[in-house]
Amino acid sequence: MAEKLSEKLHSPAPITVTLLDGSHREFAGPVSGADLAAAIGPGLAKAAIAIKLDGRARDLATVIDHDAKVSIIPRDSAVGLEILRHDAAHIMAEAVKELYPDTQVTFGPATETGFYYDFARAEPFTPEDLAKIEARMREIVRRDEKITREVWDREAAIAFFDRIGETYKAEYIGEITEGEEISLYRQGDFVDLCVGPHLPSTGYLGQAFKLMNVAGAYWRGDPKNAQLQRIYGTAFGSQKELDQYLFQLEEAERRDHRRLGRELDLFHLGEEAVGSVFWHPKGWTLYRTIEAYMRRRLDAAGYQEVRGPLLLDRSLWEASGHWENFRENMFIAESRDDRVLAVKPMNCPGHVLIFGNRLRSYRELPLRLAEFGSCHRNEPSGA
């Protein structure tokens, strides 16, 4: 009897998993996401790349050790594509480290159209480098390296990245709140800091990816910090989807406004006025034609056109909240009488002043104001 009691005390508690459709699966004890997918069906097991456990995306190897709501994330879902692209960024970082060991890796997320990773390297990446990196990525995918998640002690993680010369990673970990979980992912000899989730192995990525271009970036997006090199790429679940995306890019290039402006003699861009356009006669005629069309549409919709000043006093921007939240992205000027003014980054605060200039009746509502105003923002190119 004592043996049976001991057995009962040490046996795992049964687990009830509630699936997305509301159905339930019973298990005698803890079960991994991969085992859950296999229990549901072989088709889903093949398509699964991760799970969502109680609303949070987790690795497929995650062990479910309590009653929980779980859904399987398949490769062809929106979340699945994001995970694929995130892994592509990590595989690219591994390839860069293998080819250029002195390069430091920083961070690389998925984006709406692909992925990128920022690198600290003295020499600029060339188109030839990108071709080598992409080829090495394909080799890493063929290796099918297992991807595993590890939870590290904060100080141990800092010491590890310091030891291997990854000072950006060490700096970032040093600023993580004390007590917050620090997870590292290992694939082959490459170890990276990441919250995940990730694919079970590099082979899951497939070969439907391509590196696109290199651009400059700043560490943590701050121009005061070190400049990095950002390699952009894209990845899809199938070669057909990748080919379709690349075709769309080619078509967009043919219609690029900068190219058309130059070829049709509509306008030009110059360093003398960054972010602004020098309109040529034919271009300005086209501009005014479009503006006239917009005016007709606005009139038909009941809008009244107004015109506000370009420079407005600091007090207005303080009242609107722009001064506190947006000041670093505004052009500031001082008048001879020591008044602080700002070039407007948007029209609406001026419209509020127009509305408040006199008493209004509810009969005037809704009041629709429109302005073809010139707005200026002190932001990095492409922001």
Q: 11-74 — its CATH code? A: 3.10.20.30
Superfamily per CATH, domain 79-252: Threonyl-trna Synthetase; Chain A, domain 2 (3.30.980.10)
Residue 6 pLDDT exceeds 80? no
Nearest to 209 by CA among 256, 139, 119: 139
Q: What is the pLDDT of residue 304?
A: 97
Contact 237, 208 (CB under 8 A): yes
Average pLDDT, rounded, for the chain: 93
Q: What is the pLDDT of residue 5?
A: 45
Residue 311 pLDDT exceeds 50? yes
Q: What percent of the chain has pLDDT over 70?
A: 96
- Which H/E stretch holds residue 264? none
Q: Helix, strand or coil for residue 356?
A: coil
Q: pLDDT tens for residues 231-286?
A: 999 999 999 999 999 999 999 999 999 999 999 999 999 989 988 899 999 999 99
Q: pLDDT tens for residues 117-161?
A: 999 999 999 999 999 999 999 999 999 999 999 999 999 999 999
Query: How far, in Å, CA of 352 to CA of 147, rounded?
Result: 55
Q: Which two tokens stand for residue 83?
A: 């995970």
Domain boundaries along the sequence of the chain: 11-74, 79-252, 256-291, 302-370
Q: Which two tokens stand for residue 30?
A: 């803890």
Look at phi and psi of residue 67 and say left if phi exceeds 0, alpha if psi is from -120 to 50, else beta.
beta
Omega before 366 within 30 of 0, i.e. cis:
yes
pTM of the model: 0.76
Grade residue 179 by pLDDT with cuts at 50, 70 and 90. Answer: confident
What end-to-end distance do the CA atoms of the chain give, in Å? 72
CA atoms within 13 A on the CB side of 309: 10
Beta bridge partners of 341: 313, 333
Contact 266, 248 (CB under 8 A): no
Query: How far, in Å, CA of 120 to CA of 308, rounded?
Result: 45
Query: How far, in Å, CA of 48 to CA of 38, rounded?
Result: 9
Work out the burial of residue 81: count CB atoms within 10 Å of its CB; fewer than 13 is exposed, 13-18 middle, 19 or more buried. middle
Grade residue 16 by pLDDT with cuts at 50, 70 and 90. Answer: confident
Identify which has the larger pLDDT, 337 or 115. Answer: 115
Contact 208, 233 (CB under 8 A): no
Residue 96 pLDDT exceeds 90? yes
Residue 383 pLDDT exceeds 60? no
Q: What is the pLDDT of residue 340?
A: 96
- What is the pLDDT averaged over residues 214-220? 94
Grade residue 4 by pLDDT with cuts at 50, 70 and 90. Answer: low
